Amino acid sequence: MTNSVKTSQENFYRYGVAASPGISIGEVFLLDRQRVSVVEYIIAENEVEQQIEKFEAAVEQAKQQLHDVQKTLSLTSRSEHFYIIDTQLLILGDQMLLDSTKSFIRDNHLNAQGALKRVLEKFRQTFDSIEDEYLRERGSDIELVGERILRNLRGKIQQSVHDLDRKSVIVAHDLSPADTLQLDKVIVDGCSGCVIFNPCHDTLTTYREKQQRYQQYQEQLHEYCELPAQTLDGKKVKLKANIEFPEEAELAIHNGATGIGLLRTEFMYMARQQPPSEDDQFNEYRRIIQQVDPHPVTIRTLDIGGDKFVANICLNDEANPAMGLRSIRLSLREQKLFRIQLRAILRASALGPVRLLLPMISGVAEVHSCKAILNEVMAELRSEGIAFDEKIAVGIMIETPSAVLLADLLAKEVDFFSVGSNDLIQYCLVVDRGNEHVAYLYEPLHPAILRALNCVARAAQDAGIPACICGEMASEPIFSALLLAMGYSELSMNSSGISQVKKLLQQWHSENGDQLLEQILQLATATEVSELVSAKVKYYFPHLQNEGSFGI
Ligand code: PEP
Ligand code: MG
- Residue with CA closest to ligand 1 atom 1: 420
Most confident residue range from 198-202, 208-212, 218-222, 363-367: 363-367
Question: Is the distance from the beta carbon of residue 423 to the nearest atom of ligand 1 less than 6 Å?
Answer: yes
The whole-number pLDDT of residue 12 equals 72
Task: Tell the burial category of 5 from Cβ atoms under 10 Å away from its Cβ (0-12, 13-18, 19+).
Answer: exposed
495 lines ligand 1 (CB under 6 A): no
- How far is the centre of ligand 1, averaged over its atoms, from the C-alpha of 292 (Å)? 21
Asked whether the beta carbons of 503 and 509 are under 8 A apart, the reply is no
Q: Is the pLDDT of residue 252 over 90?
A: yes
Residue pLDDT, tens place only, 49-67: 999 999 999 999 999 988 8
Residue 312 pLDDT > 70 = no
Distance separating alpha carbons of residues 67 and 93, to the nearest angstrom: 13
| DSSP state letters, 120-181 | HHHHHHHHHT-SSHHHHHTHHHHHHHHHHHHHHHHTPPPP-GGG--S-EEEEESSS-HHHHH
Q: Across residues 169-178, what is the average pLDDT? A: 57
Compute the distance from residue 420 Cα to the ligand 1 centre, in Å.
Answer: 5
Which residue would you say has higher pLDDT here, 227 or 31?
Answer: 227
pLDDT at 258 over 50: yes
Q: What's residue 317's pLDDT?
A: 74
Q: For residue 131, what pLDDT band results from cuts at 50, 70 and 90?
A: confident
Phi and psi angles of residue 30, each rounded to the nearest 5 degrees, phi first = -90, 115
Average pLDDT over residues 235-259: 95
Torsion of CA 284, 288, 294, 296, to 10 degrees: -90
For the CA of 473, the nearest ligand: 1
| Among protein residues, the one whose CA lies closest to atom 4 of ligand 1 | 420
Would you say the CB of residue 389 lies under 6 angstroms from ligand 1? no
Q: What kind and span of H or E run contains 239?
A: strand 238-243
The least confident of 31-45, 111-125, 278-292, 522-536 is 31-45
Please give the distance, rounded to the nearest whole angstrom, from the Cα atom of residue 462 to the centre of ligand 1.
25
Asked if residue 461 has pLDDT above 60, the reply is: yes
- Domain 230-540 belongs to what topology? TIM Barrel (3.20.20)
Q: Contact 460/488 with Cβ under 8 angstroms?
A: no
Closest-lying ligand to the alpha carbon of 242? 1
Instruction: With beta carbons less than 8 A apart as the criterion, state whether 493 and 218 touch.
Output: no
**120-124, 310-314, 348-352, 433-437: the lowest-pLDDT one:** 310-314
Best of 245, 303, 417, 473 to mutate for ligand 1, by most ligand atoms within 8 A of CB?
303
Q: Say how far apart CA 294 and CA 92 lie, in whole Å.
A: 48
Query: Looking at residue 4, what is its pLDDT?
Result: 46
Q: How many residues belong to the chain?
A: 552
Asked if pLDDT for residue 416 goes beyond 90, the answer is: yes
pLDDT tens per residue, range 261-308 = 999 999 888 766 688 999 999 999 999 999 999 999 999 999 998 777
pTM for the whole structure: 0.73
Q: What percent of the chain has pLDDT over 90?
A: 56
Q: Is the CB of 327 under 6 A from ligand 1?
A: no
pLDDT band, residue 156 (cuts 50/70/90): low
Neighbouring C-beta atoms of residue 179, cutoff 10 Å: 17
Distance CA 156, CA 50 (A): 19
Q: Which atom of ligand 1 is nearest to the CA of 306?
A: 10
**Weakest mean pLDDT among 135-149, 272-286, 447-461:** 135-149
Does 426 sit in the ligand 1 pocket, CB within 6 Å? no
For residue 107, pLDDT beyond 80: yes
Please give the distance, rounded to the nearest whole angstrom, from the Cα atom of residue 426 to the centre of ligand 2: 9
Pocket perturbation via mutation, ligand 1, pick of 20, 298, 397 by most ligand atoms within 8 A of CB:
397
**How high is the pLDDT of residue 260?**
98
Is any atom of ligand 1 closer than 6 Å to the C-beta of 357? Answer: no
Average of per-residue pLDDT across 369-380: 98
Q: Which of 445, 443, 444, 549 is nearest to 499 (CA)?
A: 549
Q: Which ligand is nearest to the CA of 424?
A: 1
Does 301 contact ligand 1 (Cβ within 6 A)?
no
Q: What mean pLDDT comes out for the span 468-479? A: 94
- Phi, psi angle pair for 433, to nearest 5°: -70, -15
Q: How confident is the model at residue 31 (pLDDT cuts 50, 70, 90)?
A: low
How far is ligand 1, taken at its centre, from the CA of residue 262, in Å? 9
% the chain with pLDDT above 70: 86
Average pLDDT, whole number, for the chain?
87
CATH class of 45-154: mainly alpha
Structural Rg of the chain based on CA atoms:
27
pLDDT in tens, 204-213: 899 999 988 8
Q: How far is the CA of 60 from the centre of ligand 2 (A)?
A: 45
Q: Of ligand 1's atoms, which has the minimum distance to the CA of residue 418? A: 5
Q: Measured on CA atoms in the order 433, 434, 436, 437, is the torsion positive or negative?
A: negative
| Beta-carbon count within 10 A of 218 CB | 15
**With bands split at pLDDT 50, 70 and 90, how would you rate the model's confidence at 10?**
low
303 in ligand 1 pocket by Cβ < 6 Å? yes
* pLDDT at res. 177: 42
- The domains of the chain are located at 2-32+162-200, 45-154, 230-540
Q: Where are the beta strands (DSSP E) in 265-326?
A: 297-300
Per-residue pLDDT, averaged over 311-329, amounts to: 82
Query: Which are the contacts of 113, defined by CB distance < 8 A and separation ≥ 6?
Result: 38, 39, 40, 150, 153, 154
- Ligand 1 centroid from CA 246, angstroms: 18
